[in-house]
Structure formats: C-alpha cells, structure tokens
C-alpha cells in the first residue's frame, strides 16, 4: 500500500516538472518571437524614416531603404511590398534663348497688364539658379520688380520636359515695359512666367539625373564579373586601386539603373564583393 502511494506521489511530481518545463519552453519561444518582432519593427521604422528624408538626400535615402528591404527578406523570410522608387531629376537649358511676353487680361473684375523680356542661359553644374536684371530696376516701383522675380522663380519650378525643377540656369530680365494706369504687379508676375516658359521651349532643355559614386571592393578573381555587371548598369569606371588583397573599383552610374544592383553583385561574385554608394551630383548620364 505504501509503495503504491509513493509511486502516485512520484508520478504527480514528474507531471508537475514536465508542465514546468513546457511552460518555460513556451515562455522562451514567446520571448524569442517578441525579439524577432521588435527587430523587424525596428527595421521597418528605419525604412520609413529613410523614405521621409528631405529631397536633398533622396538618392542616399533610396539606397538605404533598398538595403533595409533586402535585409528584412534575408533575415526574416518576409517580402515587403515595395514598388520601384521614383528617381527625382532636374532640368537645365543647354543653350541660350530669349523671349518676350505680354499679359493683358481681366482677373477678378480688374484689368492687369505686364510686358517682360528675358534671356535664359546654362550655368556650370552645381551653380544653382541666378536671376539678374539688365532692365533699370529704379525706373519701376519695387512691387513690380519683386513680382517679376517671383514670376521667374515660379516658372523655374517646373521644366518643359518632365515637370521637374530647373537648376544651373541664369535668367536675365532684359526689358520691362510699363503702361501708366494699366500695369500691375500681377500683370508683371504673369508676363515674367510666360516669357521664361517660352524661352525654355527654345533652349534645348536636358534632363539631369542623380548620379551615384560607386565603390566596389572585390577579389581579383571576381573582378571581371563585377566590372561586367557595373558596365551593364551604365557604370563608368574612374579608377581601379589595390587595397590589401582586394581590388577597389571606383566609378559613377545613374541611380535609376542601380536598383537591385547590390543583390545582383552579391550573386555574381558569390557574396565576395563589398559595395558602397553615395550621391555624387545631378548630371546628364554619359
């Protein structure tokens, strides 16, 4: 009888130990899942922050976002839905052009008049925009000159080819004609914008794409594959240097053709290539 009681007590104790072990394992799995979810949320948060960066850093933000998506796919086996990022470009004139415009129209039950002539010309890369007056500003009320400047600035916010802003452009206001009793700041504002847009239509405007500075570190045995892939993406090699046991390939390539490049490079070199990309400048791809 005593032996039976001892056996029952032992069975109860074993069952309690087993339940305790199962609870501990479940808590461990739950904790691991929490860590995984927290890590995934951190990656997604970083991805969202990159996508919210200001326009001046758009190129680098897109590259960092792409790396985050690829890391989520590798480490968590999840494929986030991500469309092809839109590349932000700019426009610039490639030759000089002149135009004159007259605005004479009723707006808000009031007649507005303005007459403005302008000349547009290209500037070297990275110079931005420059607006100057060849017309005598002192002969006009300050409000008229300010309206002309604002009209020019507004017209430069949307280029004739893609609608992207213009840069590396000089605009010279060569003439302003004032009609006493008819000319208004609104009229000059509208005439200035019209004149700039007409001049741009004759200035052979080109699209400037963001170019990325690319550096690939790769063993010499895999350099051929890396160079072939880089060239197929529109890359232009600038230099090849020796760095310890690796070859460092430096060059530039259009950002629009580098989406997915890191993944393809890893596959082409069996994971032996390192890649660093950063925004270089806006320019016309060669």
Contact by Cβ (8 Å): 134, 174: yes
Residue 198 has pLDDT above 90, yes or no: yes
C-alpha distances in Å from residue 236, one per residue of 25, 123, 219, 233, 256: 55, 24, 20, 9, 14
Do 91-204 and 208-283 come out as alike in CATH topology? Answer: no
Strand pairing partners for 110?
107
**Which tokens go with 189?**
């504002």
Each residue's pLDDT tens digit, 122-173: 999 989 999 999 988 888 999 999 999 999 999 999 999 999 999 999 999 9
Task: Report the topology of domain 91-204.
Answer: Ribosomal Protein S5; domain 2 (3.30.230)
What is the rounded average pLDDT of the residues 207-232? 93
Strand pairing partners for 171?
120, 131
Average pLDDT, the chain: 82
Contact by Cβ (8 Å): 78, 108: no
Each residue's pLDDT tens digit, 57-114: 455 555 566 666 666 667 767 666 666 667 889 999 999 999 999 999 988 888 999 9
* Pairwise CA distance, residues 23 & 27, whole Å: 6
**Which tokens go with 31?**
């904790």
Residue 33 has pLDDT above 60, yes or no: no
The class of domain 208-283 in CATH terms is alpha beta
What is the rounded average pLDDT of the residues 202-223? 94
User: For the chain, how far is it from start to end, CA to CA, in angstroms?
Assistant: 96
Residue 30 has pLDDT above 50, yes or no: no
Domain residue ranges of the chain, discontinuous segments joined by +:
2-76, 91-204, 208-283
Residue 284 has pLDDT above 60, yes or no: yes
């Amino acid at each position: 009888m005593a032996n039976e009681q001892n056996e029952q007590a032992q069975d109860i104790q074993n069952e309690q130990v087993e339940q305790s072990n199962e609870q501990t394992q479940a808590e461990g799995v739950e904790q691991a899942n929490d860590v995984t979810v927290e890590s995934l949320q951190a990656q997604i948060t970083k991805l969202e922050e990159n996508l919210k960066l200001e326009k001046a850093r758009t190129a680098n933000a897109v590259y960092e976002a792409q790396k985050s998506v690829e890391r989520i796919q590798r480490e968590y086996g999840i494929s986030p839905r991500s469309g092809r990022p839109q590349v932000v470009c700019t426009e610039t004139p490639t030759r000089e052009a002149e135009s004159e415009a007259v605005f004479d129209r009723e707006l808000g039950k009031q007649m507005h008049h303005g007459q403005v002539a302008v000349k547009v010309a290209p500037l070297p890369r990275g110079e931005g925009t420059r607006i100057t007056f060849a017309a005598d500003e002192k002969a006009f009320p300050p409000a008229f000159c300010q309206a002309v400047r604002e009209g020019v600035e507004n017209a430069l916010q949307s280029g004739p080819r893609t609608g992207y802003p213009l840069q590396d452009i000089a605009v010279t206001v060569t003439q302003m004609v004032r009609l006493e009793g008819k000319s208004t700041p609104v009229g000059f504002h509208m005439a200035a914008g019209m004149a700039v847009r007409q001049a741009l239509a004759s200035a052979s405007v080109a699209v400037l794409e963001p170019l990325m500075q690319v550096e690939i570190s790769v063993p010499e045995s895999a350099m051929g594959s890396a160079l072939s892939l880089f060239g197929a993406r529109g890359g232009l090699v600038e230099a090849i240097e020796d760095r310890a046991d690796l070859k460092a390939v430096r060059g530039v390539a259009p950002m629009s053709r580098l989406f997915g490049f890191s993944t393809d490079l890893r596959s082409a070199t069996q994971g032996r290539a390192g890649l660093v990309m950063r925004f270089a400048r806006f320019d016309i791809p060669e």
